[in-house]
Structure 1
Amino acid sequence: MPESDEQQLFLGRQPILGRDQQLSAYELLFRTGGVAVTAEVGDASQATATVIANAFAEFSVGDALGPYRGFINVDQDFLFSDLIEMLPQQAVVLEILETVEPTPVVLERCRQLRVKGFSLAVDDVIQADDSYRPLLELADIIKVDVQQLSTEALAALVGKLKPLGKKLLAEKVETAEQMEICRGLGFELFQGFYFARPTIIAGRRLSPSQLTLLRLLGLLLEDAETSDIETAFKLEPGLTVNLLRLTNSVGSGMAVHITSLRHAITVLGRRQLQRWLQLLLFTNPKGEQTVSPLLQLAATRGRFMELLAAKANAGNRELTDNAFLVGIMSLMPALLGVGMPEILAQLPVPPRIVQALTAGEGTLGKLLALALAVDSGDMEIVEATLRDLPGIASRDINGALTQALAWANSLGVEARRA
């Protein structure tokens, strides 16, 4: 792929969750940046196929997805492109767009792709009449657009789809009420702003473990004695087990296993321990073996900002540490159900972190704005923010994002193994 920013590919993603709100997959969103956004492209579908194939080859998106599959939108032309077969079958789900007519040649192509090992999803389904049924029968997953249907119409459609024996995915879920209706109707997968924005956790009462974590984080930021940190841990045995499990994971980058609290503090060092504490806030304090989408988002954002901070100012360890902290803390209001000023009042963080989180000021504030724009897929803000961040090019975004996703996914893998 060319090195010029004008031909760079931007990668976005939206989580797809299971019935217990654990992360199940991502829908991958590919966009070109710079001049290519408005440039005339002779064959748009071929260009899309090329950048997607390159994304898996050059950016190691397949590795970054880890155990989660990536749903990729497929239009009529892309469906018949030879480049589609370059994608790793085990890592992707081909999402057939609603604009694709289920003609005999389309159905035959779908059969061929299934034989080759690809999984198929059908996008934006709102009807199941006889002309559309053959395509639905070839799909592994049927994505139903719940925004386009009344509750009665949705129930009627599900009644027609269930006999097909396919997984049903409710997309464009925006409210708790819609979520509960879809769960009641038997949907297995869910996607939408209700999940992509971390409001799903908002207003939750803090558990004793989380209160302990906040106290521990404060102790580390104040450079308290190791004995004081150990004492705080001992108040929560379950939290101690959780910490040891995570510090034993491959995500820590260590070759030895942690066997005690003092060992964890000594071997990891306070900088690394502080990071685990930040991430532990986003895990299930009861130790249930699910992967929290909020943990994935927090871990990804913190690592993404840290990597880009290193690009913006190489060798400035304080900036990279602060960037990681800002990324994690930006999601704490959703986790804790309280405002950012209230959270900052409990933690002794430096002024530039406060300014970044409350006013978007400084390099850290710009990095946070960039991370938020990448999450939302707003390429105009991405490019505008990059102009205020010398040292970071558009080509750096996907490299940092895929590395951050891979790191965050390693946390989920270890959580399931534990």
Structure 2
Amino acid sequence: MRFDFFRRSSGDTGANPDLGAGTDASAQPDAGPDGHVAYAMLLDAQRRVMGYRMAWRAAGGEGSGVSGAAGVKALMDTLAMHLNPTPAGWLLGPQLLFVDVTVDALFQSELQSLPPQHMVLCMGVDELLDADMRSILLFLREQGFGFMLCGATALPEDPELRAIVTHFEVDARDADTVARLRRDAELGHPPVEPIASRVENWDEFDACAGRRVNVFIEGAFRNPPVRETEDALQPESLLIVQLMQMLQRNEDVRVIEAALKHDAALTYRLLRYINSPSVGMAVEIHSLRHAVAMLGYSPLYRWLSLLLATSNKGGSPFMMKKAILRGRFVELMGQGMLPASEADNLFVAGMFSLLDQLLGVSMEGVLRKVQLTESVQQAILSRGGLYGPFVALAESCELDDGQASRLSEALFLSADQVNAAQLSALVWAQDASPVAAGP
């Protein structure tokens, strides 16, 4: 009964009922279209990541999504494989996924491969008001799928359709629509969450935040211009830089531990991160010396670099999450292509490529303070050297600039490998941030 709506009657007695979307065996494609996953981050008023709006970009043409059911099928299959695998289940915690769908896509069984309570289907007003679609819309809403109404100026008048809509796309400057949605909820109508999808700058974001409107942020969105002063780094950042330099000089662990003890909060954050699920230690680590004895200096350098990226007290949680995601994404793409000993450098290269945005100082100013290997510096400054092409590919996927296919081919990486690395990074970043642990 669960899948009745996903098998349209075609009138062809030769149709195979086990094939989704009412297609027969001769029409069933051997495989979905080759392409890359792209996403925008959903931020709340505190700039925390609450979810993602996912899209599918065809190989060789990432600038526009694959239209129709084929693109949705490919996207759903890829998301299910990496975010909702059997038997592990949903791996993104409370976060929501928003997916633009067409009428045909609603009849595909692939919609059932992801948990409805974490999925929001984005539709235009004409499709939502299509009388022939009412049964399937009601069925999907009853299962738990949310619906975001896009490109509309008001909610449907029909109470039954109105109850289907859980989210409403608004313009960043449209305070009147937001106020109207809030008044409707106060009058007893089902609450509808407004979401702004086109924000030009942080001033518009702040205006949305003031109205308690969440915002979709594209990959090209950046923090305000950075400061150039030499003393711009905060005290905790300077201590972490000092510790990283001591590691590079292979100083005695007792000396490093003595320096770390000057900041009890930093010591606590470091040990709590080392013992987090994302690190996966088999035994609990009680001291820096214990960690070095178990794993050596290389992982410690990686952990300190992550703490440095999150040490700006006035920094944006969005940018911290983005840097951690990029670092892990770059690391995963390099696995199997570069020696295992390069993993930490790949992670640092990816994450540090956003360090100026994280710390609010110029990249040149950061590199005058932090001594990095030549290969990592080349990746950060010019996307060159051994690690640069991996950083460039990760950046292209974030920007959704149409270059991902070309850059992945140059690295002999398939679209499937890139998608697997990107979505695995999303999952890993759920538990990886020291910010989540708190001081």
In the alignment, what sits opposite 1:215? Answer: 242
| Secondary structure of 2:40 counterpart | strand
Cα distance between partner residues in 2 of 1:417 and 1:3: 49
Using the TM superposition, give the Cα deviation of residue 159 of structure 1 relative to its aligned residue in structure 2, in angstroms: 2.1
Determine whether 1:385 maps to 2:388.
no
SS of aligned partner of 1:65: coil
Secondary structure of the residue aligned to 1:252 is coil
Summarize the Cα distance change of 1:409–1:99 in structure 2 as closer, same or farther, 3 Å threshold: farther
- Contact conserved, 1:71 with 1:92, CA < 8 A, in 2? yes
Q: Is structure 2 residue 322 aligned with structure 1 residue 297?
A: yes
Q: CA deviation at 1:359?
A: 1.9
1:343 and 2:333 equivalent?
no
Query: Which amino acid in 1 is paired with 2:257?
Result: E
1:371 aligns with 2:394: yes
- In structure 2, what is the equivalent of residue 406 of structure 1? 427
Mean Cα deviation higher: 25-34 or 330-339: 25-34
99 and 263 in structure 1: CA distance in 2 versus 1, 3 angstrom threshold: farther
Deviates most, 290-299 or 274-283: 290-299
List gaps (5 residues or longer) in structure 2. 1-27, 186-190
Aligned pair in 2 of structure 1 residues 261, 350: CA closer, same or farther (>3 Å)?
A: closer
Distance 1:335 1:70 in 2: 26
Give unpaired runs (5+ residues) of structure 1. none
CA contact (8 A) 1:122 1:139 kept: yes
Aligned partner (choices 37, 40, 49) of residue 11 of structure 1: 37
Q: Once the 2 structures are TM-superposed, how far is the Cα of residue 212 of structure 1 from its aligned partner?
A: 1.6
> Which residue of 1 is the match for residue 171 of structure 2?
145
1:15 partner letter:
M
The worse-fitting range, judged by mean Cα deviation, of 162-171 and 129-138 is: 129-138
Aligned partners of 1:369 and 1:285: how far apart in 2?
A: 25
Secondary structure of the residue that 1:250 maps to in structure 2? coil
Identity of aligned residues (%): 28
Provide the C-alpha distance between the structure 1 equivalents of 2:168 and 2:37, rounded to a whole number of angstroms.
24
Matched, 1:282 2:306: no
Over 3 Å counting, the alpha-carbon distance change for 1:67 and 1:241 in structure 2 is: same
The residue that corresponds to 2:123 in the other structure is 96
**CA gap 1:89/1:291 in 2 versus in 1, 3 angstroms:** farther
1:199 to 2:226 alignment:
no
Q: Secondary structure at the match of 1:59?
A: helix
For residue 256 of structure 1, give the secondary structure of its aligned residue in structure 2: coil
Q: Pick the aligned partner of 1:353 from 361, 366, 376.
A: 376
**1:17-28 correspondence to structure 2 within 5 Å:** 17-28=43-54
Residue 278 of structure 1 deviates from its aligned partner by 1.5
Decide which structure has greater helix share: 1
Specify whether residues 408 and 305 from structure 1 end up closer, same or farther in structure 2 by C-alpha distance, changes over 3 A only. same
Task: List per-residue Cα deviations over 1:163-205 (Å, max 9, x = no partner).
Answer: 2332222222222221222222232x22224x86341695596
Q: Aligned equivalents of 1:25 and 1:416: distance in 2?
A: 20
Query: Which whole-Å deviations, capped at 9, do the CAs of 1:235-290 have from their partners, x for residues lacking one?
Result: 2111111111111101111121122232233334322111211112233666x9x9
User: Greater shift after overlay, 347-356 or 133-142?
Assistant: 133-142
Q: Give me the TM-score of the superposition, normalised by structure 1.
A: 0.84
TM-score (norm 2): 0.80
